[in-house]
Amino acid sequence: MNTKKDQKMNRREFFLNGARALGLTALGGLVWSAYVDEVTASSLLLRPPGALDEKEFLKSCIKCGMCVEACPYDTLKLAKPGDNKPLGTPYFVPRDIPCYMCPDIPCVPVCPTDALDEKKVTKNNKLDIKEASMGVAVIDQSSCIAFWGIQCDACYRACPLLGEAITIEYTKNERTGKHAFLKPVVHTDVCTGCGLCEKACVTKKAAIFVLPKEVALGKAGDYYIKGWDKKDEQRLQKATNKINKTKISERKAVDSLNDLGGILDE
């Protein structure tokens, strides 16, 4: 009788303990995964050259810091607790120390997990830092003094791809009638996002600054074609947008333009 009762209690205890453990695990798992989601969501980080796309990068970076050690300029840092960045992953802040674009890219080959992928910075079987795509420089025209008409070409001069990634556009200053604007223009397809321009910028807070490409750049989609650029039409071959047929699009574009019927009828 007694043993039977004990068994019953044991079973009860077993289920109770199991439920307790399950509850604790679920709670812990929820908090934990929410935290991981939060810390990995930061999208304004600049990664070393050759870094995989952010999601893949976070997946494969083992946080060993060997890229940090390899960098001769102390550009790269590992995110510390309190930095509010994915813990232990490498990043750099151009206004402090930009990437000096070493031709041999010491930070990339040391990566044991290929989170910094040599393939991404290789051209014609040679490491080429110009292939790096760490970010892209963006100019705030309202605070850039060159756009005010004050002569400044600090970013242009600092750019390691001088005349390629940043060019100077001359325009007339209509207000004075006898001065010129020397406006910097960033060419987003060439810019590697090294941040030397941001470092060199003379304004109090840099008027040219590097953002991750996926943050800074728009995307036109493959339904817009530069009609004057014959090569541009080749983009259509890889078009991913589906054709969306509506009643209007059944007719040819020219017909639609010439047909005034719709307007006149009403």
Partner 1 sequence: MNNLIFKHRFLIARRITQVTIMFLYFAANAWGFNFLMGNLSSSKILNTIPLSDPYAVLQMLAAGAVLSADVLGGVFIIILFYMFFGGRAFCSYVCPVNMITDLSNYIRRKFGFNKIQKRQPASRNIRYYVLALSLIISFIMGYAAFEFISPVAMIQRGIIFGLGFGWAAILIIFLFDLFVLKNGWCGHICPIGGFYSLIGRFSFIRVHHNHENCTACMKCKEVCPESQVLFMITKDSLPVTSGECTNCGRCVEVCDDEALNFSIKNYKRK
Task: Summarize as ranges the residues that interact with partner 1 (CB under 8 A).
Answer: 21, 25, 28-29, 32-33, 35-37, 39-40, 55-56, 58-60, 62-66, 68-69, 77-78, 80-83, 86-88, 110, 112-114
Give whichever of 77 and 183 is closer to partner 1, judged by the CB atom: 77
Cβ 98 to partner 1 shortest distance, Å: 20
Give whichever of 68 and 155 is closer to partner 1, judged by the CB atom: 68
Contact status, residue 50 vs residue 129, Cβ threshold 8 Å: no
> How far is residue 97's CA from residue 71's CA, in Å, rounded to a whole number?
11
Cβ 216 to partner 1 shortest distance, Å: 24
Cβ 71 to partner 1 shortest distance, Å: 10
Cβ 32 to partner 1 shortest distance, Å: 6
Give whichever of 81 and 262 is closer to partner 1, judged by the CB atom: 81
Give whichever of 27 and 44 is closer to partner 1, judged by the CB atom: 27
Give whichever of 117 and 186 is closer to partner 1, judged by the CB atom: 117
Cβ 210 to partner 1 shortest distance, Å: 23
